[in-house]
Amino acid sequence: MLRTSRFSWRLAALIALALSSAAVAQEAAAPQYPNYPSETPATFKQSSEGFDYERREVMIPMRDGVKLHTVILVPKGAHHAGILLTRTPYDADELTTHGHTGNLGATLNGYDNAPDVIVQDGYIRVVQDIRGKYGSEGDYVMNRPLHGPQNPTPIDESTDTYDTIDYLVKNIPESNGRVGTIGISYDGFEPLMSLVNPHPALKVAVPMNPMVDGWMGDDWFHNGAFRAQNLPYILEQTASRKNEIKFSSSVHDEYDLYLRAGATGEMARRYGLEQVGFWQKLVAHPAYDSFWSDQAVDKVLAGQPLKVPTMLVHSLWDQEDIYGAIAVYKAIKPKDTGNDKVFLVMGPWHHGQEIENASSLGAVQFGSDTGLYFRQKILRPFLAHYLKDDAPANPVAPVTAYETGSNVWRTFRQWPVATQARALYLGGDGKLGFARPSGEAYQEYVSDPAKPVPFRARPIQPVGYDPGQTWSEWLVDDQREASGRPDVVSWTSDVLTQPLVIRGQPVVHLRASTTGTDSDWVVQLIDVYPDMEPMDAAMGGYQLMIAGDILRGRYREGFTVAKPIKAGAPLDYSFELPTTDHVFLPGHRLMVQVQSSWFPLYDRNPQTYVDNIFFAKPGDYKKATQRIFGDSHVDLPVTSN
């Protein structure tokens, strides 16, 4: 063997030498052509001739030397203008180059921008790529935690915002030195970070639909159940600096895609997500441990002084971050002793719809453009009060809320308003009412992980906002299809003869048993329209979800530690539903639906206790019989005004 190896090595060396000599000879024989000068410059600075604004791109240095790519749009003729800053992981260039007409309003047609307000009031618009994304230097960390237990470095989104504002007020001569931060979703998380040790020039913050606590009820989990359909976002957002790596699938119906993969961990493995640091953190922290609680923004801000006026904007049908804005409001409002620093706006929108046409959401019509109302009647005067030199009066109420059902805007001094908790009981006979039922009646169903309940009608589209996609509308989908399934139980009230107004968060109190050792509980509060709607026939009998959420049963005794469920034992499960501001009108009925899967939005519970559901095995997924006992109820926050 040794001799053969030496011979082979010598032969390979001789062949390589011969090939190399031939290549050199061929290169020497190749004709040499003169260079023809390129007509494309190495860099091109676009002329602003004919534009109504000047575009400036700068790399702003942070305190550790990392430079962040920043686009500055200055209206021509601007003088003593306020600055509106958005920090984003979604490409500052893309958010500021939508128009090529030279008109600033057209240029700003994009995510986070309210062009009518920005242009009409002459603000200097600044959009910056956060650290590690697109044109900015440094490393990217999803929702980079503040300096502390989860981030030992002195650098975080708060310090980057401070350094950015410091640069802007010193280097934009057209500004008046007043800065506001504004953004939606991830970009709404950034204004919240600006409130931590804020720069003196920061005069106002407008976090809209912000990411706040990814475990309790925003993007990654809801009460312990993982949002499986966010896997593509995690891949695309974290696998490359410029989101160049895309999630691809040859399966049209995402229900089939996720079901065939089995456990979510296996789905992630198939797409290479084990290479991604954020996915590794999710897998390592399925419970609400210190990793999550240390960086929960509402908890962080509860411990901070209240220095900057803040308007929190919440969507009543936010399909992505329905938890965050209300959680922050509850955390910081007690510090607002003068009731003039913390403001809340709630509209009948999907995630981010406040900057779009919002005269309807799916099949639900509002009769007017509620997004335009928000921008012109609330956002515009609010920003002007803090960012303009002449400081016009602030006409905005501490709370402005859209009352769905009656479709009117109302104002309040605080939220929630005074309410009475009224228990709405899930009787054993399928009747829903305020009278406590007697006896041990129950409703039951069989939950089969092999046939999970889809969270909307199939085929299920991916998460996205491309033309033709209706992801943003799923919270207002007609629930009749679900209510007709044998693995969904429903309770319905009598027809209302008087309006029923609820304002606040309904609280679920289930007494239930399962033959498994783990279970999910999905509860939906629904407004059932009359069988015939004369003004809108398509809404006849419509079942509109007003509030709904999921609880992973292993966390029934506390979110920090998972525990098996005792099979067959009636146990108590309690959790809050998202905030409501709704009128159930006369002629309508109330409905409550309960089920044990919401797929593939949330990963399937195997219904057999395993240490980590991300890695459940095929044999762990088993049918279970679920019983809901008649003293289960939903506490409704009922008000008379």
Helices (H) then strands (E): counts for the chain: 16, 27
Interacting residues of 477 by C-beta distance below 8 A, sequence separation 6+: 362, 456, 457, 545
Set out the domains of the chain in order of their start, with CATH numbers: 53-216+290-412 (3.40.50.1820), 221-284 (1.10.3020.10), 420-639 (2.60.120.260)
* Segment 526-546 mean pLDDT: 94
Beta bridge partners of 629: 442
Q: Give the least confident one: 321-325, 333-337, 345-349, 388-392.
A: 388-392
φ/ψ of residue 552, rounded to 5: -80, 115
**Calpha distance 589→84 (Å, rounded):** 45
Cβ-count burial of 99 within 10 angstroms (0-12 exposed, 13-18 middle, 19+ buried)?
middle
Share of the chain above pLDDT 70, in %: 95
- Given a cut of 80, whether residue 20 has pLDDT beyond it is no
Q: Which helix (H) or strand (E) holds 28?
A: helix 2-29
Q: Which two tokens stand for residue 483?
A: 């209510």
Nearest to 323 by CA among 408, 407, 201, 220: 220
- pLDDT grade for 101, boundaries at 50, 70 and 90: confident
Question: Which position has the higher pLDDT, 498 or 481?
Answer: 498
**Calpha distance 218→210 (Å, rounded):** 9
Beta bridge partners of 222: 225
The pLDDT, as a whole number, for residue 80 is 97
| DSSP summary character for residue 554 | G
The pLDDT, as a whole number, for residue 27 is 53
Dump pLDDT digits (tens) for 482-522: 988 999 999 999 999 999 999 999 999 999 999 999 999 99
Nearest to 276 by CA among 222, 217, 231: 231
**Calpha distance 197→304 (Å, rounded):** 8
**Calpha distance 95→108 (Å, rounded):** 7
Characterize the bridge pairing of strands 53-61 and 67-75.
antiparallel
- Given a cut of 70, whether residue 523 has pLDDT beyond it is yes
- Given a cut of 70, whether residue 192 has pLDDT beyond it is yes
Alpha carbon distances (Å) from 232 to 224, 237, 254, 311:
20, 8, 12, 31
Is residue 197 left, alpha or beta, with left meaning phi > 0 and alpha meaning psi from -120 to 50?
left
**Calpha distance 545→525 (Å, rounded):** 6
Characterize the bridge pairing of strands 489-492 and 589-595.
antiparallel
- Given a cut of 90, whether residue 112 has pLDDT beyond it is no
Nearest to 327 by CA among 353, 355, 290, 302: 302
Q: What is the mean pLDDT of the chain?
A: 94
Q: Give the least confident one: 14-23, 282-291, 338-347.
A: 14-23
Interacting residues of 127 by C-beta distance below 8 A, sequence separation 6+: 70, 71, 85, 86, 87, 88, 92, 95, 96, 112
* Segment 352-367 mean pLDDT: 97
* Segment 160-176 mean pLDDT: 98
**Beta carbons of 344 and 400 less than 8 angstroms apart:** yes
The pLDDT, as a whole number, for residue 12 is 44
φ/ψ of residue 210, rounded to 5: -75, 150
- pLDDT grade for 9, boundaries at 50, 70 and 90: very low
- Given a cut of 90, whether residue 362 has pLDDT beyond it is yes
Please, what is the end-to-end C-alpha distance for the chain in angstroms? 94
The pLDDT, as a whole number, for residue 3 is 37
Q: Give the least confident one: 12-26, 133-147, 401-415, 500-514.
A: 12-26
Residues making up the chain, counted from first to last: 641
Model pTM above 0.85: yes
- Given a cut of 90, whether residue 597 has pLDDT beyond it is yes
- pLDDT grade for 6, boundaries at 50, 70 and 90: very low
Rg, C-alpha atoms of the chain: 28
